[in-house]
Amino acid sequence: MREIWLLAKVQLGTTFDFNIAKKNSNIKKKSPFYAVGMVSLLLLFAGMSFFYNFMLGFNFKILGTMELLPELMMALTCIITILTTINKVKGTLFGFKDYDLVMSLPVETSKIVASRLLLLYLLNILFTLIVMIPNAIAYGILVNPSPVFYIICLAVMLFIPLVPMIVGTIIGTFIAVIASRFRHSNLVNLIIAIGFFVAYMLFIFSADSAEKMGEITAAITNQVDSMYPLSRMFRMAVCKYDIVSIVLFIGISLLAFVLYSLIVGAKFKNLNTMILANFTKGNYKVGSLKQSSPFKALFIKEVRRYFSSTAYVLNTGFGIVIMTLGSVASLFLSEETLAQIFKVPALGTRFGQIFAIMFGFCVSMTNVTACSISLEGRSLWILKESPITEKTIFNSKIALNLVLTIPATIINAFIVFIGLKLSVLDLFMIILLPTAFAFYASIFGLIVNLKMPNLNWTSEITVIKQSGATMISVLLNMFISFLPFILMLALPEVSLAIINGGMALVLLILSGIMYRYLNTKGAKIFAQL
């Protein structure tokens, strides 16, 4: 057990840059600010989780189905754990950069697998606690249970991620092995992951009232009980204080962890070999060589880098998916129904302008530049030594973000325009405000990444999802995207179109200022990396 923990500790330190921070005085000085930012971020998510749990629990209390609340949220965390684990399998459990170094250690393969699973567990338990602790508090406020509830709930929820994590690794391993046989291996991962997400969002859209939500939830809970017995055990454990359910839940979770470590440990080397196998054309022919401009070459490189990484696409592309689902929904659903789904008031003629804010929020989630410098990793020196200006390098990375967001915004804006029969002013603002956000988020994300680079990562998921630069830029962008809505509530007499237009103008001006900074001081920072 000691060897497993030591390996996991080293991997955890590498994942969150703890090892680098100890040796780097500059990072060490900034660590308190990063810590405050991370704590604030966690508290924000916990607060949002509590609000959602409380409102959902309030509806369940009216319907007399309060016991569904813990089970439903437990099932939700399990689904998300499975989905996120699928994306983390390649790079964390298999195909990690320091594979040769780790395998050369005098440690049993099963212990290496266990340490990798422990790392996945530590990453997943954080999300589980952020969802389930507010869930327990909300349930406690609404039901007022015995103090025993909190003790049992805390003890049992620590084991929630284990089984779904194992399921996710099995699915992820299977997908990775199958995908490795094809030339475009990442396409399989993308299709499946996006398919899961779209299906889940369509289910959410189908629940347009509290009564219907209750009916759907009850049906799903019954189905979950039959397909995943651990969910019923969890409900019986935390709501009924059933000792047998508590023991079975914990025992099965631990047994799954141990058995998977032993079984995969025996086939670990073979699985890594299959997953890391590359597709090669059998009929390759030498073609003509074409010369392109430095910007075009770099932009194509950024595009290929982006779509070659499933984790990169999934963690930065959900905003576009949500935007598309919302706009397509406008073709089939009424304004009132959409207002219920998105939890915003229709507000008559303001509804089109609210869509502009929502699209801006979706664009703020799509920020590929916040980790684009870090993803260069130890190969950054090649880019720096090339006869290419820093401005060209920056422009290629910004262009990728703009190409992903602006065309999607324009297309979806016209879909909403047709679906809701909006005015030309609404159409113009639905395009203008998200476009301004796209420029702002692209440049701001790149500046933050220059200030907070991580070039010594062992897994790309570290910089894509867990780096300080990514979290700070995405969190701040999401907050700024909600400013027009806050101003709308604070200044009800002011036209929302004027607020959105003013916000777009401010964002464009800030973008110009930041772009100048990027090509002056930013270029110097880049040269020193």
H or E stretch including 314?
helix 310-329
Tokens 């990375």 locate to 397
In a domain, 281, yes or no: no
For residue 238, give every residue at least 6 positions away whose Cβ sits within 8 Å of its Cβ, in sequence order, or none: 70, 136, 149, 152, 153, 156
Question: In the numeric block, which tokens belong to residue 197?
Answer: 């997400």
What's the chain's average pLDDT? Answer: 78
In a domain, 127, yes or no: yes
Instruction: Give pLDDT, residue 513.
Output: 94
More confident residue, 408 or 487: 408
Same domain, 185 and 244: yes
Instruction: Give pLDDT, residue 167.
Output: 87
> Residue 29 — pLDDT band, cuts 50, 70, 90?
low
In a domain, 289, yes or no: no
Contact 275, 180 (CB under 8 A): yes
Same domain, 195 and 61: yes
In a domain, 170, yes or no: yes
Share of the chain above pLDDT 70, in %: 75
Same domain, 263 and 301: no
CA separation for the pair 8, 122 (Å, rounded): 9
In a domain, 181, yes or no: yes
More confident residue, 181 or 267: 267
In a domain, 200, yes or no: yes
In a domain, 306, yes or no: yes
Sign of the alpha-carbon dihedral angle for 341, 344, 347, 348: negative
Spell out the alpha helix ranges (H) of 89-228. Answer: 99-103, 109-143, 147-157, 162-179, 185-206, 210-227
Nearest to 157 by CA among 178, 140, 135, 172: 135
Instruction: Give pLDDT, residue 346.
Output: 47
In a domain, 284, yes or no: no
The lowest-confidence range among 49-63, 170-184, 246-260 is 170-184
Same domain, 229 and 309: no
Same domain, 210 and 302: no
Same domain, 497 and 351: yes
Same domain, 339 and 236: no
- Tens digits of residue pLDDT in 477-507: 878 887 887 888 778 788 888 988 999 999 9
Instruction: Give pLDDT, residue 108.
Output: 81
Residue where one domain finishes, among candidates 222, 244, 275: 275
**Number of domains into which the chain is organized:** 2
> Residue 211 — pLDDT band, cuts 50, 70, 90?
very low
Spell out the alpha helix ranges (H) of 366-481. Answer: 380-385, 390-420, 424-451, 460-465, 468-481
Instruction: Give pLDDT, residue 195.
Output: 65
The lowest-confidence range among 68-77, 296-305, 326-335 is 326-335
Same domain, 421 and 488: yes
Same domain, 343 and 396: yes
More confident residue, 267 or 147: 147
User: Which residues form the domain of 312?
Assistant: 294-528
Residue where one domain finishes, among candidates 275, 303, 322: 275
Sign of the alpha-carbon dihedral angle for 388, 392, 398, 400: negative
Same domain, 81 and 176: yes
Same domain, 73 and 107: yes
Instruction: Give pLDDT, residue 334.
Output: 61
> Residue 212 — pLDDT band, cuts 50, 70, 90?
very low
Residue where one domain finishes, among candidates 247, 275, 303: 275
- Tens digits of residue pLDDT in 127-139: 888 888 988 998 8
Instruction: Give pLDDT, residue 470.
Output: 81
CA separation for the pair 376, 366 (Å, rounded): 19
Same domain, 347 and 216: no
Binning the chain into helix, strand and coil, the percentages to the nearest 5 are: 80, 0, 20
- Tens digits of residue pLDDT in 160-171: 989 988 888 888
Share of the chain above pLDDT 90, in %: 13
